[in-house]
Structure 1
Amino acid sequence: MEDMDETTAEPDADAIRDGFAGQRMLVVPRTDVARALRHPVTGKLLVTDAGCFPHAARHGRSRPRGAREHLLLVCTGGAGWCRVGDVRTAVSRGGAVLLPADRAHAYGAAQDDPWTVWWFHFTGADADDLARAALDAAGGPVTHLRDPAPVASLVSQVIDALDSGLTVAGFTRAAGAAWHALAQVIATGRRGPGPSLSPLERAVEHLRATAPQRTAVSALAAMCGLSASQLSALFREHLGVSPLQFQVQLRMAQARELLDGTAMPVAAVARRIGYEDPMYFSRQFTRRHGMTPSAYRGR
């Protein structure tokens, strides 16, 4: 085992498991996990826990007996480390860590530059094969992604899916995003340096892929390895709007497409693009376009 310096020390009694400013986390109750594993669809691949810990100072976990599920972590900023057996590996931005179920491990944030880490636990009938494929592709539990933002975006979609409800539909959406994230790790791990999208391009790509789902500026910035103020400055400099205003633009573009190309009622259009209150949607649409949704369709 490598010598450890003071910036990457093993977690101690004061290590923090969660509770970080701006974090997102969802833990599926174990009764719901057991029920979902018995279902013929959700039992194939099931996400049981997912989250994002931004700038997670003093974050650390040690599991001498491993976890019950497989675990994927992706670092989008800062640094940390992981230990599997007697091998300890530094993890920097772009690092992806795949920890097999029931295998002893520990991991934590660097003290001088704590990581921002996106993660999810997964199990199910197909989980072992996916985990084995990811480990084989990476040549071990730690690999490097040239661009971690697409995988972080997919983990965000996993969280959104579970947050929408612990139903067959929610579990299936989460499993789809998780499968895609693991496929990205398998396909893009161990790549050398090369051109990649800029932070602004990665943010825009995520917003386009997940619209009309709203994404908090802090979560969007964490995917891109920036602070919320840095990302907002990039949006204003290059796009002329804030990240939130850009999301509104995307939703309104979808509304125009639906009003132009379908016969959906205005209330249904509002719900499709993420507005539960049709009156609020109509006010927002009128403010932006100078006419009501009905007038726009009539024109």
Structure 2
Amino acid sequence: MRYFEPRPVHHRLGLACLGVGLQHGALPTVGPRTLDHHVAVVISAGRGWLRVDDGPSMDVVAPALLWLTPGSRHHYAPDPAIGWDEGFVDFTGPAVEAYTELGCIEPERPVVPLSDTLPARTAISRIARAAHHRNPLLEIECAAAVHELLVALRRARADTTADGRPLLHALARDAFLPLSIAEHATRLGLTAAELRTAVRGAAGCSPKDYLLGIRLARAQELLVGTSLSVAAVARRVGYTDPAYFSRIFARRIGTAPVRFRARQRGTVPGGWSHRVPEPDRPPLVSAGRATLERGAEECGRP
């Protein structure tokens, strides 16, 4: 276990790591105690229990995540006969609020089932390796790994639809179908209210906003990367009415689809291509026109 005291400048990175630990076996009981910061405890093997404030004891069965949040009185321990494997990270910072709003931190769910702990354990191990006091980049490396940890934990959360598929993955797969929110919910085996609650908790927004973000991101790619008409782009991303698509696009992106295409093509060197270049033979872009044209040719630009 290692603990740190980041300076104020490190807190401005968004997240500051305050401590890290990797341990296993019949560990001692923790608490009751109250902290002024967050702790993510990743249980990769074993079982035990957690009690928060005056609530009932909750079973903890690996793989699982324990969220210990500021101001909550918590008390937990592994089963003395079985023990558990745990990795924990203490952290704080102004980015916590945003990660909570986006559903990556869940104060209302102290125990979260996980589908896999390997990515989270990898991030925790990275913090542990960086955590020696001769490392001049200790606080910076650890802060970066805390961001990575929160993303890994969000991906590993075992939220599933009725048939076992991750909810957001299934919703994203159908994002370009011209379906209402109620129809999306039916395809996922949920009511519209259940879908709204699940997506709000998982992504920090409504299903409509989640789908709109996916649709408009793809629309921008098609406008810049193809010669499809605006109407064709609209159909590709799930809108049967091109005029409605254009209004939504302009409202969210800040400019009409046609103007967006003209602006992006005018500022991206080399124009657009139907082909993705090979990683070991990227197109060459420089101020020289010959080099620019050679790069476009290698990219397969028509």
TM-score by length of structure 2 reads 0.48
TM-score by length of structure 1 reads 0.49
Higher Cα Rg, which structure: 2
Greater relative contact order, per chain length (Cα 8 Å cut-off, separation 6+): 1
